[in-house]
Amino acid sequence: MPEGYVPLRKTEHHAVLAQSLSNNGDVTTQRSPAQNNTSSATARVASQLSDTYYVDNFNYLIKFVTRHYQHLLTADELKFCHTYDSLSNTAQQTYVRLASRSTDLLRTAKLHYPEIENISDGINELNSIGFVSKEVEFSSEECASLFTRAELKSVLGLSSSQFDPACINPDAFTTPDLFGDSPLTRLLANDSIIAVHHKELIVAFRLLFFGNLHQDFSSFVLRDLGLRQYENYKIDSDTVLFQEREQLAAHLHYYQCAELFDSACEQGIDGLQELHTLLPQPLQYDKTLDRRLDTFKNRIARQLERLEALDIAAQIYSQTTRPPARERLARIQAKSGNTDSALTLCKAIQALPLDTDELDFANTFGARLAKKAQQCFTSPARHAPPESTLQLHAGNLSVEFSVALHYAKTGKCYYLENSLLNGIFGLAFWDIIFAPVSGVFFHPFQHQPTDFYESEFTISREQMIRQRLQQIDNGQLQQIVNSHHYQKKGLRNPLVNWQWLKPHTLSLALKRIPKQDWQAIFKLMLSDIRNYRSGQPDLIYFPDDGGYELIEVKAPGDRLQKNQLRWMHFFNEQRMSHSVVHVEWIE
DNA sequence: ACCGACGATG
DNA sequence: TTCACACAATCAA
DNA sequence: GATTGTGTGTCTCATCGTCGGTTG
Ligand SMILES: [Mn+2]
Ligand SMILES: [Mn+2]
């Protein structure tokens, strides 16, 4: 099943090793990132949280939504905020603790909060105003998930090793045994079940505050512990993320649909089609909603393609503009023998491409289609990068490191892939990325402006970008990069990977690569950050004789990817030294 | 007894 | 809760 | 050669306790 992947988390955390290869041929491995940094941004680390931190954070959120969004809140939501405010400290503590648990049903015996003086007082108070229920009805499935397998086995008398909680008889928990006790009363002999209410309101509040649902209260904690440090950008208090209630409702609605994706996949074509009809309507004034909906529609349609429901997929693709919708549509048309409309679509993409990827597709795919159909189609010639072959002994190292080691004999060579150009771009334009453009910073936990990958990013900052390119022309690049590297070290930036960027490598790159080349690189990246932040060559090589070369390493059987070819094409046009090295293993 | 996944925590 | 890359399988001419 | 799907390394904040399964 291609979609619906199971994300697996690695608990074993391998220390990240940054290998730098010098021309004595020795391989130095450095542990990173530096914990005892002396620079300004990393000065504050490992602070302690106050003992009321979680209530403080919750109160902050409540205050934020009532202050900024009072007019958008429903009567229920307002009442919730008001009631919460009137609670005793103990009840507030208790509610925040309970609401931060992942399930709605909880066992009181499993609650251990030593900082709450008397948690049963808190629960009683919450019960009286309806924030929790002490009397709960629950299904046998819910009951099974509340207790451990050992507990269930012992109380149900099913000691079999093949015990499956999924097929417990619905009445099993309530059926009295010989002594007149039901399994449930035994499970609850020294325990009780409570239900936590109104958690869905907190979800809505999170959306109002963060603008998304993948961030939560841990953002506060991680910041306050100094584990995630954000740039101190100016938050735009004039613009507000949501104007209308229908907007909030639509986003919440979307997130509910997104959760259904996996099960819809399992239900096949009908399930996916049903899910598509379930989606909220877009709103003209909400571009974020458009983006979320279009991305999701593309995902549904892509899965329908896999199930060979091409017509339905095509219909959904044609409802969105977001790439790769037009690419997929053209492929479907070509596949179903509709060469003419596929070609027309390719020409439309060529005329008004929405991004680089789409344009490259139209050029290559259109040319191939036209050739087959013997029609006329114009597309730029493809660049064939200089290639060479290197014979190496197979060892423990990856191909990239093996080649780097080879080049280290005659210079310095680093395996940095996207980290180098991205990192220098991020440092060179740091202040512009975090510039106070209106409506791009809404809360203190953003690592990038909301429009970072949009085409408006460049337009909204045109003046600043022009100035920066001029400064680079005046020879100030090295100074700008170095000062940002020093001042901002450890702060989050969408393009800067601090562990891989060592000052030595930075200064070498800035010294060896001329400013005209940097200007061209930056202009290119600014033209489409999303598509040009990847595909950069594996290695950068600084020969002892001077100069530099960007090298993409290819093991036997591996070939250039689309985005890698794009960069090679650019290097060629800019007359920057580049090549592809094919490795042949010997012995 | 050991492990890996997972939730809770600050 | 990826994301970007390498790699393998498949199909078509 | 083109396309697609799958696997892998790297990246998440780090650590502790529990659960459930496998191994001895
Ligand atoms: Mn690579
Ligand atoms: Mn490579």
Q: Which residues touch strand C (CB under 7 A)?
A: A 5, 7, 9, 214, 399, 417-418, 533-536, 538, 552-555, 557-558, 561, 563-564
Question: Which of A's residues 135-164 have CB atoms within 7 A of nucleic strand D?
Answer: 148-150
Rg value, chain A, Cα: 29
CA A444, A447, A451, A456 torsion-angle sign = positive
Pairing of strands A193-196, A105-107: antiparallel
Indicate the helix (H) or strand (E) that contains A202: helix A199-210
Q: Which residues pair with A543 in a beta bridge?
A: A411
The tens digit of pLDDT for each residue in A175-195 reads: 887 788 888 899 999 999 999
Cβ neighbours of residue A139 closer than 8 Å, sequence gap 6 or more: A170
- Give distance in angstroms: CA of A520 to centre of ligand 2: 23
- Provide the CB-side half-sphere exposure for A286 (13 A, CA): 23
pLDDT confidence band for A273 (50 / 70 / 90): very high
- Give distance in angstroms: CA of A557 to centre of ligand 1: 14
Secondary structure (3-state) at A412: strand
| Nucleotide whose C1' lies closest to the alpha carbon of residue A559 | C6
The tens digit of pLDDT for each residue in A441-460 reads: 999 999 999 999 999 999 99
Nearest Cα residue to A423 out of A18, A58, A116, A115: A18
Q: Which two tokens stand for residue A6?
A: 């199971």
Q: Which residue has the tokens 């004039």?
A: A238
Q: Which ligand is nearest to the CA of A418?
A: 1
Secondary structure (3-state) at A29: strand
In angstroms, the CA A198 to CA A99 distance is: 8
Pairing of strands A578-586, A549-554: parallel
Q: Which residue has the tokens 């060479």?
A: A388
pLDDT confidence band for A244 (50 / 70 / 90): very high
- State phi, psi for A64 to the nearest 5 degrees: -60, -50
Pairing of strands A549-554, A539-543: antiparallel
Indicate the helix (H) or strand (E) that contains A529: helix A529-532
Chain C bases closer than 7 angstroms to a protein Cβ: 1-8
Closest residue to D5 (CA, C1′) = A2
CA of A116 to C1' of D18 (A): 22
| Nucleotide whose C1' lies closest to the alpha carbon of residue A7 | C1
- Give distance in angstroms: CA of A403 to centre of ligand 2: 10
- Residue-level pLDDT at A160: 66
- Give distance in angstroms: CA of A548 to centre of ligand 1: 18
- Give distance in angstroms: CA of A538 to centre of ligand 1: 5
The tens digit of pLDDT for each residue in A390-442 reads: 999 988 889 999 999 999 999 999 999 999 999 999 999 999 999 999 999 99
CA of A457 to C1' of D1 (A): 37
pLDDT confidence band for A8 (50 / 70 / 90): very low
CA of A555 to C1' of C7 (A): 10
The tens digit of pLDDT for each residue in A245-267 reads: 999 999 999 999 999 999 999 89
The tens digit of pLDDT for each residue in A25-70 reads: 333 333 233 333 334 444 444 578 999 999 999 999 999 999 999 9
- Residue-level pLDDT at A404: 96
Better-scored residue on pLDDT, A47 or A311: A311
Environment class of A151 (CB within 10 Å of its CB; exposed 0-12, middle 13-18, buried 19+):
middle
Strand B proximal to A101 Cβ, under 7 A: yes
- Tell me the H-state helices in A245-352: 245-259, 261-266, 268-278, 287-306, 310-317, 325-335, 339-351
Instruction: Tell me the mean pLDDT in the region A524-531.
Output: 98
Secondary structure (3-state) at A15: coil
In angstroms, the CA A191 to CA A290 distance is: 48
CA A90, A92, A97, A102 torsion-angle sign = positive
Give this prediction's pTM.
0.91
Better-scored residue on pLDDT, A130 or A42: A130
In angstroms, the CA A34 to CA A489 distance is: 10
CB A54 within 8 A of CB A96: yes
Q: Which ligand is nearest to the CA of A552?
A: 2
Name the maximum alpha-carbon separation found in chain A. 92
- Residue-level pLDDT at A36: 35
